[in-house]
Amino acid sequence: MKDFIYNEMMVHVPLCTHKEPNNVLIVSSNSAAFVAEVQKYKYDDITCDVISADINLLREVADDKYDVVISELETDAAVLAHFNRVLNENGLLVTTHPSLDDVAENKKIMQILGKYAKIIMPYNLGNGQTALLASKEYHPTADVILQRTDLLDSLEYYNCDVHPAAFATGNNVRKEYLGIIKN
């Protein structure tokens, strides 16, 4: 699968879900590709900070600073607590996670996220992988900012139809994660 699909889905899903994504933190070794996607928001005033996928650098990030965090850092309780700390009261996190087939590990991650977020939903990245979206305020299918999606130029995959469709899950996933996924 093409890398551009992954990059677009990791960036545009959260930025088109959050009402005012002014401050974005990217935690990734793939930051250049993610920053390039953020720069497509010509009509929005978005500040984008980048740190490598290293928890030690995450510890140094200021509290309540970010509207959106996009992360490829391996998640555990400590990392998730730091993400909660750096997100503001309406903050939204998108992070990679183990395959949904790894039910025990994902339930553990989602239960920890449940302490911090109102909404926790996996979504399809378009390449057979999923990401987790955890939001303190905005729902990724009810609150999608359609006008923002329409103003984006030069996207190869992501659009306003792909966005809600990415959150569709089969009954097997719904049953396995019943009470854990918060939507």
For 43-58, what is each residue's pLDDT tens digit? Answer: 778 999 999 988 889 9
C-alpha distances out from residue 128 to 70, 88, 98, 166, 181, Å: 19, 31, 12, 11, 19
Local confidence band at 27 (pLDDT 50, 70, 90 cut-offs)? very high
* Domain ranges for the chain: 3-176
Question: What are the Cα distances from residue 4, in Å, to 70, 96, 113, 155?
Answer: 16, 16, 28, 9
Strand residues in the chain grouped as ranges (E) = 23-27, 47-51, 66-71, 87-96, 119-124, 130-135
- pLDDT of 20 reads 94
CA distance 13 to 16: 5
How far apart CA 121 and CA 116 sit, in angstroms, is 13
Confidence of residue 153 (pLDDT cuts 50, 70, 90): confident
Provide mean pLDDT across the span 106-133: 95
What value does the mean pLDDT take over residues 55-67? 93
For residues 124-138, give the mean pLDDT. 94
| β partners of residue 135 | 92, 119
Mean pLDDT, the chain, integer:
93
The residue among 69 and 150 whose pLDDT is bigger is 69
pLDDT at 121: 97
Residue 150 has a pLDDT of: 81
Sheet holding 130-135, edge to edge: 47-51, 23-27, 66-71, 87-96, 130-135, 119-124
The confidence score (pLDDT) of residue 128 equals 86
- Does the pLDDT value for residue 139 go beyond 60? yes
d(CA 31, CA 49): 10
Share of the chain above pLDDT 70, in %: 99
The whole-angstrom separation of Cα 132 and Cα 134 is 6
Question: Is 127's pLDDT higher than 60?
Answer: yes
Domain at 3-176: CATH code: 3.40.50.150
Identify the pLDDT of residue 1: 47
